[in-house]
Structures are given as structure tokens and as C-alpha cells.
Amino acid sequence: MELSKEEKEHIISELTIELHAKLDGSGKNLVVPVCPYCGHTGGKYGIYVGKPTDRKQTFMAHCFSCGHSTRTLNELLKDIGREDLVVTDTFNLDQSNIQNRFSFLDEEDDKEIDDSLSVVNMPEGYKRTHRNRYLKQRGFTEDDYDYFPVGTTRGMNFKFDDYVIFPIIDGGDVVGYVSRHTWDKKEIDEYNRKARHNGEYQIMRYRNSTENDFVKLLYNYDAVIEDETDTVIIVEGVFDAIALTRKLNLYDNSQIAVVATFGKKISDVQIYKLQSKGVKTVVVGYDGDAVESIKKTSLQLNDYFDVYIADIENPSDDFDSMDFWDIFDTFSFRLKTPIEYKLNKI
């Protein structure tokens, strides 16, 4: 029996109230804070409420913690004790064609989303700083120091001497860190050229944590406030995120946040993390030279969010190097849909 639009909307409304659920950014999934089967918290239980596809039926549900799944609306309603809403004629499903799990993503590959993270210790000797010569050269302000924790080991850990270290925070926990050597790339390359010739120790430009895979992490993720942050701008790196937040004065802006994906791509886990907080619009703000990566990423995101590209005019620019007026021009006059961007970059 196929539900009418009104019946479907009524059931979704009842499920939302009963389970304290909310729609994700795609509008196709109800995210439930507590699994009604195992009681696990953290939004790992989801109910698909989009249109039926070859892989999914409306009101299929799955818990990513305990693995419990239901395939029909009536099974779901029985699970949550709302049999008063049961539809008398159940869907006639070909069970062999239904996946025995639920995914927030519409990807064709059959991968579950594992967003589990372990808490990470900062390098020995790390202390937060509010004054650093290198960061001053990079344009850091007092607001930056207050909003974006950063520190050094102050000569207490030789592996991190001459590095500035940025914690990656998720749900208030440190889940990783990015450390950047304070020499510029040219200086490091020149030093390493001589070191290779002399068989000496070479300098790493970045020295990052290894406990959690970076495809599970987003820098400045806690700035994305659940059910409040509507728009997220994704950029490549830590300095891009900090610079754009500063130049657009987005400190403590609950509606717009800037996060870094650590490179010119986004993973399924990172998409899931944005969906789970109810983000509706994503602006791709990768560097001006990342044309093919921007095309791929924007199309990847397009199934789940309203997507725009901040089309940086100069291919050699990024938000860290651009001044306010260049950034203003980009967001005022050069925002493009994925199709518009693709047509402009043929």
C-alpha cells in the first residue's frame, strides 16, 4: 500500500516528536539522538524518509552502533511502540533487493559510515600561546588566538621545536593536531637540499597526529552548531579556515562557519558529519588552482546540500593570501553553482 503525501507527512511528524528526531541537511533522513533498540546516543540511528530507490525504501531504519535494522514502516513502528500508526497493508517488498543496513549517503558503493574517533594527547610540552612571531607574520590577531587554540612546545620537545601546533577539536575533545614548521617552504626546501647532500636530518613542513584518519576530521568542526548553522564554507587547510573567519568576521557566527577538509577533497565521513548537524548549504572554497578537485567535490556534495563554489579569480590565490576586498568580491559576485562553474572552466 502506497502512502499518500499527507499520510507520509503525518507519520514523519509523529516520528519526529516521538523520537526527538530532526531532518539532516539533505532532507532525506531523520537523525535520531538515541537508538530505540540499543539506547546508544550520538545520532547513530537514522530513518530514511526520501523517495524509494533501488537500494532503499521509505522508512527503512538502521543503527550504526548496534547494527539493528528495520525494513518496513510497520517494523519500525513496532520497534518504537507506536503500533497505533501501523499501516494495514504493508509494503510489498522484494526482500532480496533490500540492503540490510541504512546509509545517510546515496553513494552506489555499499560502505557504512564509521565516524568513531579516539581522544588524542597533544605533543609533550605543548602549551597554548597568545603570542608568536611566526603567527604574527601570518596575520594572527587577538581574536584569532582567542577563537582558535594554538600552541608550541617552547623548546621542551625537540621533535616539535620551531613548530606551531593547532589542536583539532570535535565535540570538545582533542581528536588530532596539525603542526606547521615556522620556516617558509623555500627555506625548508633549501635546508633539506643541503641535508640530503650531507646525509643529515631533514625538516618536515608539517608534523601531524596519526591516531585518527584525517578523512574523519574537520578543522573548526565545533563551530558548526547543530540545528543553527545553515551554511558551511569548506576550505583546504587550517590557515585558510582561520584567515577566512577573520576576514569575514565570522567569529561566533552561529549561522555560517568555515571548516577545513585537510586537502582538496571531502570524504563520506566528513559529509556525514555535516549532515548530522543539519547543514543545508555548502560553499566550496578551495584554492583557485584546484579546478578539477572543485568540480569533483561540488558534484559529490550536490546530492546532499545546496552547493555553491566560491570561484577565486586568480588561480594562484587562496583565502589566506587574499585581502578583504578580493574575498568580498568573490562571495558577492563569483559564487557559482556546480554547473555554472563547470561551464566556465571548460
**Residue 105's pLDDT band (cuts 50, 70, 90):** low
- pLDDT tens, 279-292? 999 999 999 999 99
Which one is predicted more confidently, 94 or 49?
49
Residue 307: per-residue pLDDT: 95
Residue 114: is its pLDDT beyond 70?
A: yes
**Residue 193's pLDDT band (cuts 50, 70, 90):** very high
Q: What is the pLDDT of the chain when averaged over all its residues?
A: 86
Residue 86: is its pLDDT beyond 80?
A: no
**Residue 112's pLDDT band (cuts 50, 70, 90):** low
Residue 266: is its pLDDT beyond 60?
A: yes
Give the containing element (helix H, strand E) for 326: helix 324-333
Residue 97: per-residue pLDDT: 35
* Averaged pLDDT, 6-19: 88
* Averaged pLDDT, 38-56: 78
* Averaged pLDDT, 303-329: 91
Which one is predicted more confidently, 26 or 189?
189
Residue 102: is its pLDDT beyond 50?
A: no
Q: For residues 211 and 107, what is the distance between their CA atoms, to the nearest angstrom? A: 27
* Partner residues linked to 178 by β-bridges: 166
Residue 38: per-residue pLDDT: 81
Q: What domains appear along the chain, each with residue ranges and CATH number?
A: 5-97 (3.90.580), 116-212 (3.90.980), 213-346 (3.40.1360.10)
Q: What sign results for the dihedral spanned by CA atoms 69, 103, 214, 227?
A: negative
- pLDDT tens, 169-192? 999 999 999 999 999 989 999 999
Contact yes or no for 64/44 (Cβ under 8 A): yes
Q: Write b or e for each residue in 85-100: b if 16 or more Cβ atoms lie within 10 A of its Cβ, otherwise e.
A: bebeeebeeeeeebee
Q: Which amino acid is at 152?
A: T
When mean pLDDT is compared across 62-76, 84-98, 203-217, 284-298, the lowest value belongs to 84-98
* Averaged pLDDT, 137-147: 95
Residue 209: is its pLDDT beyond 90?
A: yes
* Averaged pLDDT, 103-107: 47
Q: Which amino acid is at 225?
A: I
C-alpha cell at 76: 519500525
User: Left (φ > 0), alpha (ψ -120 to 50) or beta: where does 316 sit?
Assistant: alpha
Residue 293: per-residue pLDDT: 95
* Averaged pLDDT, 293-305: 93
**Residue 8's pLDDT band (cuts 50, 70, 90):** confident
- pLDDT tens, 150-166? 999 988 898 998 999 99
Residue 91: per-residue pLDDT: 39
* Averaged pLDDT, 117-137: 95
Residues 6+ apart with CB under 8 A from 141: 246
Residue 34: is its pLDDT beyond 80?
A: yes
C-alpha cell at 13: 511528524
When mean pLDDT is compared across 27-36, 213-222, 227-236, the lowest value belongs to 27-36
Residues 6+ apart with CB under 8 A from 319: 235, 240, 243, 244, 247, 285, 312, 327
Residue 269: per-residue pLDDT: 93
